[in-house]
Structure 1
Amino acid sequence: MGAELRQLHVVFFPFLAYGHMIPTLDIARLFASRGVRTTIVTTPVNAQTFLKSILNMPKLRPSITLEVFPFPAKDAGLPDGVENLEQAVSLDMFGQFIEATERLRHPLELLLESCHPDCFVADMFLPWATDAAAKFNIPRLIFHGTGFFSLCVSDVLRLYEPHLTPFSDDEPFSLPYLPHEVILTRMQLPPEYRESGETDSTRLFNRVKESEDKSYGVIVNSFYELESAYADYYKKVLGRRAWHIGPVSLCNGNMEEKTQRGKEAAVDEHTCLEWLNSNKANSVVYICFGSTVKFSAAQLHEIASALDASGQRFVWVVGGCSDNGIEHHQWMPQGFGKRTAGKVLIIKGWAPQVLILGHEAVGAFVTHCGWNSILEGVSAGVPMVTWPVFAEQFFNEKLVTEVLAIGLPVGAKKWTETASGSAIVNREAIEKAVKRILEGEEAKEMRNRVKQLKEMAWRAVEKGGSSYSDLSVLIEELSSYHLLRSK
């Protein structure tokens, strides 16, 4: 069996956005650590992100290769040089970006035909990948980039349409048949549920679902103990084939691996650690809204005012302002820097998030509820203040705040394609949530719960753990599929 496993070859094609590329690299690394040959399809600009990390894996480097395709940005109406979603001027370009990735189908099929891998793992935003793989009798696995809970919520919305019952967008409705009561409003739903008729969003959503129905199954970056009721519901009630193999970020063990994930960090890791080391345990709040969220100057001003008033200590990752041309000094409260000197570490750009969250000084995490961030928070044992903006983030918030009870909502109410289009969350609400997450009996209980989940997460990826074992099952199944196909 060992020799046969080493002969397996899996090709990965992530969606070209950091929130999808980073976990895909981690997944490829997990496969490579089990003796599977892996190939990652990417483009010239994005190749640098992968190469930087692969160079820090000397033992696995021979098992992970890159296949680089030119990205047809101009052919799809995008500015020349745009190769990942974060480079796009606005999220309005999402449709063009999807079109550009679809233009990679031909070179991708040539690759599949020439190397004929044993499996093709492609992102959900590449729905055409299922048919491309089927042409060569290659099983296609889907990577959604989210967890079982949000996958179940999405399917229940699609199957039973409970969101069509309310008379208004802000009227609460309950989702039927789920293991827990989940209440949402239409304002919190992605556009494919809110829009009537056929739109670009609904067309893509329908293609993704059709592609999933025809695929071999789904790889989920989660662990069974985190959302066991929803893993069971997804597999047994909804009838989906899925394997949980996460948290995949835990494959990054040393400092170099943690700091080299994603883009070049905007802060030196030693400077960052030196500042964190000067603080007491559980005393620092880490604030980060991912790689694509850019708030308006008015919202950034409210955040800064809340930090100023709270008296707490913060690491604040400021990814940029949606109001073009507005600099930091124009939205920061007057005297902010002087009053918060030594209390607030501001990182303007990319941050080594796994490294920061794992430091004992960090006691809370203000997050946009992206799935990678939630898993990284759980894996570090850090309770969360939830501030969803778009994608499936409002679903993830429900898991964190209500099902797991390891976080508190800041009060965001409306799904929006751009953070600048959302209603302003005022400084009082931000300050209140931050204090609640750090102080009192409620905070202590949340911290205890998330610490227990942290222990479960680490055990899940160890040999014999739930995620380790599920990956073993998947690899063995792919090996059997390969043997049957080769006869």
Structure 2
Amino acid sequence: MSWGGGADVAGAEASPHFVIVPMMAAGHAGPMLDMARVLAGQGALVTFVTTPLNLPRLGRAPGDDALPIRFLSLRFPCAEAGLPEGCESLDALPGLDLLGNFNDACAMLRAPLVAHLREDCSTPPASCIVSDACHPWTGGVARELGVPRLAFDGFCAFSSFCMRQMNFHRIFDGVDDDRRPVRVPGFPIDVEISRARSPGNFTGPGMKEFGEEIMAESARADGLVVNTFAELEPLFVDAYEAAIGRKIWTIGPLFLSTTMPSTATTEDANAARCASWLESKKPRSVVFVSFGSLVRSSLPQLVEIAHGLEASNRPFIWVVKPGNLAKFERWLSDDGFESRVGEKGLVIRDWAPQRAILPHPATGAFVTHCGWNSVLECVAAGLPMATWPHFAEQFMNEKLVVDMLRVGVPVGVKDTAQWGVETEAVVATREDVERAVAAVMDGGEEGSARRDRAAELGRKAREAVARGGSSSRNVKLLMEHVEQKKSMA
């Protein structure tokens, strides 16, 4: 619970003090830590709230010690919430049935967080709470302290606004066919979505009420902070802002504004292996396949992916996170897949340096689950995508990528998976995989136009975070807004 070594906290009374509360999951905490670095780099003081098991997973960057960022580690109340010990992040939950308990445990952090912020005389009072939209309890923290709360939206504006309209208008009430497309009212373009492709996060006991609580607290927030950039989806940012009557600050892609985090020894080994392998490949020849930190694929589905990649006859890096690693390793051994593909394919277990692989000159396309962090990293790298959504808002992200930005080719998955529940079903065949890879790597006129559009988006992403760019300006405007609120308090 200490400040960075270069921070002059005692003399920083005039600086705004941001308290950042991320959702305890790698895909949520990472962007918020990048935001902490961006704000601290502009002179703000930042308290980053985490827990003992999540703290070492954050990935410290080389320049963090010179920034005024305090990592506040609060005990996570697993036992009190009915969770097994160690379940301090979403990816550590053994099943979806404990998601409600996890949310309850997060809400129990309210009292200790308020106590720390009130009693710690070594730091200036909080000026603002910036919390993941999935932490509605932090609205109460902000009101107790008498400071504004900003909701951090880890999704893009397109998907967040779409979900808001779906929930606000209850579009699936009375719809008995899960695959029937339903129009989303009040959206700036005609969009239809079925219940089968809609976000499945708020299912199970108490989840509907939790979703409504999130919406209610987001409506009370002083504004939204979104990890996107204005030039990527201007129509949807403007429409979302008008609908909620609140300011939306687009400040992404956040990872482009910060130094690459250092990594652990095992991750360094994978990074070195990937870098060496990529250097041996021709420019834009490699397909990168990865489905994020939460997806766990069944063995039958992994077999289909393997054979599809082999049939595509393209060099590939495939990041595998099987539901059962031992079964997958036995299959690899019995099938001889790695021996057959040889140097043409690289199979990485569990983790790969995605941010280094995507912009590498040898990488030509990304087969992705359409999690927003992955989409944004691919956009910034200027690459086209083959889209394979699984759950949450990923089918909506696919619509943005394929239909609006026109930089993606769908693999053809029809229904959302249920996070935390592994099934033996095969949702995409080897033929689907082979076809999608061929399409996204196509050298014809359509593929060339797709790559040109992707490269242009990559240029705009880098310009947005550069000095004078739209996201850079919004960071300054956000700080000015908080400073004004502070002076009025």
Same fold, TM-score > 0.5, yes or no = yes
Query: How is 1:315-394 mapped onto 2 (pairs within 5 angstroms)?
Result: 315-319=317-321, 321-323=322-324, 325-330=326-331, 334-394=335-395
**2:60 matched residue in structure 1:** 53
Aligned 8 A contact 1:317 1:348 in 2: yes
Choose the corresponding residue for 1:442, options 438, 446, 450: 446
Residues 370 and 393, structure 1, Cα contact 8 Å, conserved in 2: yes
C-alpha distance in structure 1 between counterparts of 2:201 and 2:461, whole Å? 33
Equivalent residue number for residue 240 of structure 1: 246
Seen in structure 2, the aligned counterparts of structure 1 residues 464 and 5 have a Cα distance that, compared at 3 Å, is farther
Alignment match, 1:424: 427
* Superposed CA offset, 1:58-107 (max 9, x none): 5x634111111111112222221222121222233222211211121110
Which ranges in structure 1 are unaligned for 5 or more consecutive residues?
A: none
Residue 165 of structure 1 and its aligned partner are, at CA, apart by: 6.5
Q: Which moved more, 1:264-273 or 1:385-394?
A: 264-273
Per the alignment, do residues 323 and 33 of structure 1 end up closer, same or farther by CA in structure 2, a change over 3 Å counting? Answer: same
Using the TM superposition, name which of 133-142 and 178-187 deviates more. 178-187
Q: Distance in 2 between matches of 1:62 and 1:460?
A: 23
Matching residue of 2:8: none
Q: Separation in 1 of the partners of 2:478 and 2:37?
A: 15
CA contact (8 A) 1:365 1:385 kept: yes
Q: 1:327 offset after TM fit, Å? A: 3.4
> What's 2:168 paired with?
159
Contact 1:169–1:186 under 8 Å retained in 2: yes
Q: After the TM superposition, which of the residue ranges 164-173 and 198-207 deviates more from structure 2?
A: 164-173
C-alpha distance in 2, partners of 1:403/1:383?
13
Q: 1:122 — aligned with what?
A: 131
- Please state how far the C-alpha of 1:443 moved relative to its aligned partner: 1.5
Q: Which amino acid counterpart does residue 137 of structure 1 have in structure 2?
A: G
Q: Which range is displaced more, 163-172 or 273-282?
A: 163-172
Contact 1:152 1:230 in 2 (8 A): yes
Structure 2 match to 1:24: 32
Distance 1:94 1:31 in 2: 31
What's the counterpart of residue 14 of structure 1?
22
Report whether the alignment pairs 1:287 with 2:295: no
Q: CA deviation at 1:22?
A: 0.6
Contact 2:370–2:394, Cα closer than 8 Å, also in 1: yes
Does residue 146 in structure 1 map to residue 149 in structure 2?
A: no
CA–CA separation in structure 2 for the residues paired with 1:91 and 1:445: 41
Deviates more, 1:309-318 or 1:89-98: 89-98
- The whole-number CA distance in structure 2 between the counterparts of 1:281 and 1:259 is 27
Q: How many pairs were matched up?
A: 472
Which residue of the other structure, out of 186, 209, 212, is the alignment partner of 2:215? 209
Tell me the residue number matched to 1:274: 276
Q: How far apart, CA to CA, are the structure 1 residues paired with 2:167 and 2:67?
A: 43
Q: Distance in 2 between matches of 1:4 and 1:462?
A: 26
In 2, the alpha carbon distance for the partners of 1:237 and 1:90 equals 35
Aligned to 1:112: 117
What amino acid is aligned across from residue 186 of structure 1 in structure 2?
R
**Conserved? CA contact 2:60–2:262, under 8 Å:** no
Distance 1:263 1:106 in 2: 37
Cα distance in 2 for residues equivalent to 1:134 and 1:458: 37
Pick from 75, 84, 99 the counterpart of residue 79 of structure 1.
84
SS in 1 for 2:245: coil
Which whole-Å CA distance do the structure 1 matches of 2:278 and 2:383 have between them?
15
Instruction: Specify which of 275, 300, 303 is matched with residue 302 of structure 2.
Output: 300
Are residue 472 (structure 1) and residue 485 (structure 2) matched? Answer: no
> Equivalent residue of 2:85, what SS?
coil
Which digits, 9 at most, give the CA deviation of each residue in 1:386-433, with x for residues without a partner? 111111111111100101111011111112223634652111011100
3-state SS in 2 of match to 1:179: coil
1:310 matched to 2:321? The reply is: no
Tell me the C-alpha RMSD between the 2 structures: 2.2
* Structure 1 residues 208 and 264, CA gap change in structure 2 (3 angstroms): farther
Distance 1:387 1:123, change over 3 A: same
Cα distance in 2 for partners of 1:6, 1:276 equals: 48
Deviation at 1:27, TM superposition (A): 0.3
Tell me, which stretches of 5 or more residues in structure 2 are unaligned? 1-10
| Whole-Å separation in 2 of the counterparts to 1:349 and 1:266 | 13
1:414 and 2:415 aligned: yes
Cα distance in 1 for partners of 2:262, 2:190 equals 39
* Aligned residue number for residue 69 of structure 1: 74
Q: Deviations over 1:329-351 (max 9, x none)?
A: 32677221111110111110121
Which residue identity lines up with residue 267 of structure 2 in the other structure? Answer: A
Q: CA deviation at 1:251?
A: 2.0
Q: Percent identity?
A: 36
Which of 458, 479, 486 is the matching residue for 1:482?
A: 486
Residue equivalent to 2:46? 38
Can you list the C-alpha shifts for 1:100-154, whole angstroms capped at 9, x where unaligned? 1112111011123235310111112211110121011011111121110011101
CA contact (8 A) 1:258 1:354 kept: no
What's the CA shift string for 1:157-193, capped at 9, x where partnerless?
1233333465522122322332222222121012478
Q: Which amino acid letter does the alignment assign opposite residue 215 of structure 1?
A: A
CA distance in 2, matches of 1:332, 1:131: 54
